[in-house]
Amino acid sequence: TGTEVTFGGVYSLTKHDLETGFLDFLLSEFSWFLALNSQRGFSITLNGEPLDYRGHIADEENFEIIHDKTGTVFSITYVRWKEKLPKEPSRYYYLDSSGKEKWKEASAIKNKGDKFFHSMFIKSAYFDSFSFQTSEENGQDPLLGGARSDAQFRFMRKKTANYLRIKRKPFLDEFADKLVLEYENAQIISPSEKTGKRDISQIIRMLYKMQPRLFSSLNLEQKKMLVGLLELAIGSDKKADIPKIINSIIELSEEEQNELSEIFSRKDAPE
């Protein structure tokens, strides 16, 4: 059983087109779906050939998290995608013991602008009977099954969030170096340029690792403005004003402003 789609009368669509452009389109659209249902025998075939979504994967790891007090086991598959999934952001997928999706939601690391495209598939018998809506959302506490307030659920979320931060760190290091090289090639900063005791490139690396979104949508003039203002602030006693300076260029959330303020108010703030 399944769904079959047949194209007819499309004379401009050649076999080569199907095997290249259309195949790439299907992979970018449905790789997450095939990974999600990999244990349930789901497949998508094109001219009789099943799509191999694994070529779309940059990194993958399987592991278990066990909540000792309750004995709850979570079997987890982490996937980092080579490219952004057009209609599916980075998510947690919660699966029951049969591998069927019960719920999905944004991952602990989302919308950061660092191209860390990932999915977390979390399978457990614990989700066979689970209320994913909070008591505030549905107006009552669950009578049976698990809930978000359970110790094992909160334990799992904390562990997976820490795991993602660890996986993301070398990824951020690599992209921070690429960003600095991009700024040097565009002559926004000079490789030998110094501001006070620290190279301005190191400041940019640090800011990128902390808040990649700051750099994700800047045009050339905004990049130059940001670097120029950072140089002025870092070279003076106005380091505490850096969050306001950045917010004047790109709108920050209150959480992001607080995080930046905390960094530049510390005694070890960049000089």
Query: What average pLDDT score do residues 154-166 get?
Result: 93
**Residue 30: per-residue pLDDT:** 93
**Residue 266: per-residue pLDDT:** 59
Query: What average pLDDT score do residues 226-235 get?
Result: 79
pLDDT at residue 148 greater than cutoff 70: yes
**Residue 11: per-residue pLDDT:** 65
Which residue, 122, 150, 115, is CA-closest to 35?
A: 122
**What's the predicted TM-score (pTM) here?**
0.71
CA distance 271 to 243: 15
pLDDT at residue 143 greater than cutoff 50: no
The mean-pLDDT minimum among 53-57, 178-182, 214-218 falls in: 214-218
* DSSP string of 52-99, one letter each residue: -GGGGEEEEEEEEEEETTTTEEEEEEEEEESS--TT--SEEEEE-TTS
Q: What are phi and psi of 128, to 5 degrees?
A: -60, -35
Tell me which of 72 and 11 has the higher pLDDT.
Answer: 72
**Residue 76: per-residue pLDDT:** 98
pLDDT at residue 228 greater than cutoff 60: yes
Using one digit for the tens of pLDDT, what is the confidence trace for 57-105? 999 999 999 999 999 999 999 999 999 998 899 999 999 999 999 999 9
pLDDT at residue 251 greater than cutoff 50: yes
CA distance 161 to 159: 5
**Residue 135: per-residue pLDDT:** 47
**Residue 63: per-residue pLDDT:** 98
